[in-house]
Amino acid sequence: MQIPGVTGRRVLAQLLVLVASLAAMAAPARAQLRLDITEGVQDAVPVAVVPFGGQAEGGSTDVAAVVAGDLRLSGRFAPLDRQDMVTRPTSGGEIRFEDWRLLKSDYLVVGSVDGGGTAVAFELFNVQTGQQLLAERIPASGHDLRSVAHHISDLVFERLTGIPGAFSTRIAYVTVEGKAPARRHRLVVADADGFNPRTVAESGDPLMSPAWSPDGQSLAYVSFEGRSSAIFVQRLATGERRRVSARAGINGAPAFSPDGTRLALTLSRDGNLDIYVLELSTQALTRITTDDAIDTEAAWTPDGKTLYFTSDRAGSAQVYRVNLAEPAGVQRVTYTNGYNARPRLSPDGTALAMVTLDRGYRIGLMDLKTRNLRVLTTGSQDESPSFAPNGAVIIYASEDRGPGSLAMVSSDGRYQERLSSSRGDVREPAWSPYPTR
Amino acid sequence: MTGFAREHLRPLLGSAGLHLLLIAVIGGMALRWTGPQPPVQLAIEGVVVDARDLPKSVRSGRALEEPRLERAPEAPPAAPVADSKARARAAAEAAARAEAERERARELEARKEAAALERRKEEQAAAERKKQAADEARRQAEVEAERKKAAAVEAQRQKEAEARAAQDAKARAAREADLKRRLAAEEEEGAARSGVKDEYRALLVQAIERNWIRPPSARAGLTCTLYVNQAMGGTVVDVKLGPCNGDEAVRESIVNAVYRASPLPAPSDPRAFERRLEIVFRPTE
pLDDT tens for B168-209 read 899 889 888 888 888 887 777 776 767 888 899 999 999 999
B214 or A1, which is more confident? B214
Give the pLDDT mean for B43-68: 46
Of A232-236, B51-55, B262-266, minimum mean pLDDT range: B51-55
CA pair distance A295, A265, nearest whole angstrom? 10
Q: Which of B247, B260, B275 sits opposite A162 (nearest CB)?
A: B247
Which secondary-structure segment (H or E) carries A200? strand A198-203
The pLDDT, as a whole number, for residue B58 is 46
CA pair distance B227, B241, nearest whole angstrom? 6
Interface test with A, best of B196, B208, B213 (most A CBs within 10 A): B213
Is the per-residue pLDDT at B37 higher than 80? no
CA pair distance B137, A102, nearest whole angstrom? 107
The pLDDT, as a whole number, for residue B8 is 61
B22: amino acid identity, one letter:
L
Are A162 and A178 contacting, i.e. CB atoms less than 8 angstroms apart? no
Is the per-residue pLDDT at B43 higher than 80? no
CA pair distance A413, A407, nearest whole angstrom? 13
- The H-assigned helical ranges of A275-337 are none
A379: amino acid identity, one letter:
G
pLDDT band per the 50, 70, 90 thresholds, residue B120: confident
For residue B263, say if its preceding peptide bond is cis, omega within 30 degrees of 0: yes
Minimal CA separation from A354 to chain B, in Å: 21
Is the per-residue pLDDT at B57 higher than 50? no
Say if the Cβ atoms of B256 and A33 lie within 8 Å. no
pLDDT tens for B131-179 read 888 888 888 888 888 888 888 888 888 888 899 899 889 988 988 888 8
**For A68, phi and psi rounded to 5 degrees?**
-60, -40
Is the backbone of residue B271 left (phi > 0), alpha (psi -120 to 50) or beta?
alpha
Is the per-residue pLDDT at B71 higher than 50? no
Minimal CA separation from B162 to chain A, in Å: 53
Is the per-residue pLDDT at A56 higher than 80? no
Are B13 and B61 contacting, i.e. CB atoms less than 8 angstroms apart? yes
In chain B, residues with a C-beta closer than 8 Å to the C-beta of A367 are none
pLDDT band per the 50, 70, 90 thresholds, residue A413: confident
A100: amino acid identity, one letter:
W
In chain B, residues with a C-beta closer than 8 Å to the C-beta of A44 are 213
In chain B, residues with a C-beta closer than 8 Å to the C-beta of A129 are 239, 255-256, 259
Bridge partners of A357? A361
Minimal CA separation from A350 to chain B, in Å: 14
Reported residue count of chain A is: 437
For chain A, give the percent of residues with pLDDT over 90.
70
CATH architecture assigned to B193-281: 2-Layer Sandwich (3.30)
Is the per-residue pLDDT at B62 higher than 60? no
Say if the Cβ atoms of B260 and A159 lie within 8 Å. no
Write down the mean pLDDT value for chain A: 89
Give Cα B117 distance to the centre of its chain.
42
Give the pLDDT mean for A7-13: 59
For chain B, give the percent of residues with pLDDT over 70.
70
B85 or A110, which is more confident? A110
Say if the Cβ atoms of B279 and A392 lie within 8 Å. no
The pLDDT, as a whole number, for residue A20 is 54
Among candidate residues A12, A100, A6, the one with its CA nearest the CA of residue A50: A100
pLDDT band per the 50, 70, 90 thresholds, residue A27: very low
pLDDT tens for B76-110 read 555 555 577 888 888 888 888 888 888 888 888 88
Is the per-residue pLDDT at B68 higher than 50? no
pLDDT tens for A33-44 read 899 999 988 888
ipTM of the complex model: 0.72
A25: amino acid identity, one letter:
M
A40 or A8, which is more confident? A40
Quick check: helix, strand or coil at residue A68? helix
Could you confirm whether domain A45-161 is CATH 1.10.20.10? no
In chain B, residues with a C-beta closer than 8 Å to the C-beta of A77 are none
Give the residue extent of every domain in chain B: 2-123, 193-281
Q: What is the DSSP string of A95-113?
A: --HHHHHHTT-SEEEEEEE
CATH architecture assigned to A170-431: 6 Propeller (2.120)
Are A255 and A241 contacting, i.e. CB atoms less than 8 angstroms apart? no
pLDDT band per the 50, 70, 90 thresholds, residue A352: very high
pLDDT tens for A213-266 read 999 999 999 999 988 999 999 999 999 999 999 999 999 999 999 999 999 999
Give the pLDDT mean for B237-249: 93
Predicted TM-score of the model (pTM): 0.67
The pLDDT, as a whole number, for residue A111 is 96
Give the pLDDT mean for B238-261: 93
